[in-house]
Structure 1
């Protein structure tokens, strides 16, 4: 049973989501203060955190920043519908996904399942065989990555995206294929989450000797991981 911490000051919504997720088989705790999320991340007390952006005392963006200094625990953000700035800010800081409010409990449950599956929390994970692409070594079994002989710190979503590109290293992977293989769902129009996560992975890989990124993009099509 996966442990979920739901942090939102909307008590009515929180109760509704908690009841639904409990029926779906999750062990759900709730809080109205973002500091509870920071403490949970520090103590590895839960498997995933659902975090509202608009909260008193400390907003969700600030909470996420502090969490990412402590842990790579999966975080799903709740954002105001249509607020692209908050969504992109959250993804840039390492959020695994977001759901726009008001959201249906069913949609939230589906997103949680997808994130936990990517993070290796549920059954049916990918092959445990070590994957090598140039100086990149990926261990799907424990979802760890080595880059140039050193551990590479990635979020669960970043790991999934890099694994997809590494399995087709040197080849262009269409964005639609990336979405299906990494997220388990088709890419929707104007969805920028792949681009934002790829940008973060690029920064962590650094630049090649020729000054180019290790992950090349073809505008409007997809991405390619270079291996030499």
Structure 2
């Protein structure tokens, strides 16, 4: 991992792109720019960034399709830029693998903080090493190495999926409200709680034998979610 984190920004608005670039560079982050989806994918393959800031509305190839292509080959963190109030677009972005979103118009400082938060969780900004291994039967989450396996096979988790799974496993049997998870995993004191719902759905698809009848990540009706160890239930 390079000492200086590298971010690829894909946005066709030159004014927004320039402001984002300047703020990120001021924060000590190397920035590569692209103005459309195909160029963004080429720059991604060429530079191998630690994170992608991706505008939803791009000419020719929109951000959703770019994110799908990225997710087919990489678990690089993606922060989606969406129009204010377009909840359906935000949810779709999360479903195809975005880790976070920022609604336009946005504060450049807020975006920098979001970028730094996701980079830190992904390990691109160095923090003291943590040794913590969480296990539940054949599900193993190494929080220090940020590696999760199921039945010995690596799980392709995004940054937020990994953080959510680890957080739930640290507190087996405890029911969390969506707002609590949004604050404790995402670090948001407010925001769209459907973000949590989408990530839980994606996690279930990866860790449950039958996502429609989950044994580990249970819904607590009227509250939110809890992690139920299969070791405890004998499932």
Confirm or deny a common fold (TM above 0.5): yes
Equivalent residues in 2 for 1:13-162, closer than 5 Å = 13-43=16-46, 45-124=48-127, 127-162=130-165
Equivalent residues in 2 for 1:184-199, closer than 5 Å = 184-186=187-189, 188=190, 190-199=192-201
CA distance in 1, matches of 2:132, 2:138: 16
CA distance in 2, matches of 1:15, 1:90: 24
Provide Cα deviations, 1:42-90, integer angstroms capped at 9, x if missing partner: 4562110000011111110010010000100000000111111110000
CA distance in 2, matches of 1:215, 1:125: 29
SS at match of 1:185: coil
Conserved? CA contact 2:133–2:141, under 8 Å: yes
Considering only aligned residues, what root-mean-square deviation do their CA atoms show, in Å? 2.1
CA shift at 1:131, angstroms?
A: 1.6
User: CA distance change for structure 1 residues 94 and 189 in 2, over 3 Å: closer, same or farther?
Assistant: closer
Instruction: Structure 1: state its 5+ residue gaps.
Output: none
User: CA distance change for structure 1 residues 86 and 212 in 2, over 3 Å: closer, same or farther?
Assistant: same
Conserved? CA contact 2:52–2:78, under 8 Å: yes
1:4 alignment partner in structure 2: 7
TM-score scaled by length of structure 1: 0.91
Conserved? CA contact 1:214–1:226, under 8 Å: yes
CA distance in 1, matches of 2:40, 2:86: 22
CA distance in 2, matches of 1:110, 1:180: 15
Instruction: Structure 2: state its 5+ residue gaps.
Output: 231-235
SS at match of 2:125: coil
CA shift at 1:185, angstroms?
A: 3.1
Conserved? CA contact 1:9–1:32, under 8 Å: yes
**How many residues align structurally?**
227
Equivalent residues in 2 for 1:211-222, closer than 5 Å = 211-222=213-224
CA distance in 2, matches of 1:202, 1:40: 32
Provide Cα deviations, 1:114-148, integer angstroms capped at 9, x if missing partner: 11122122233662222212321111122110112
1:169 alignment partner in structure 2: 172
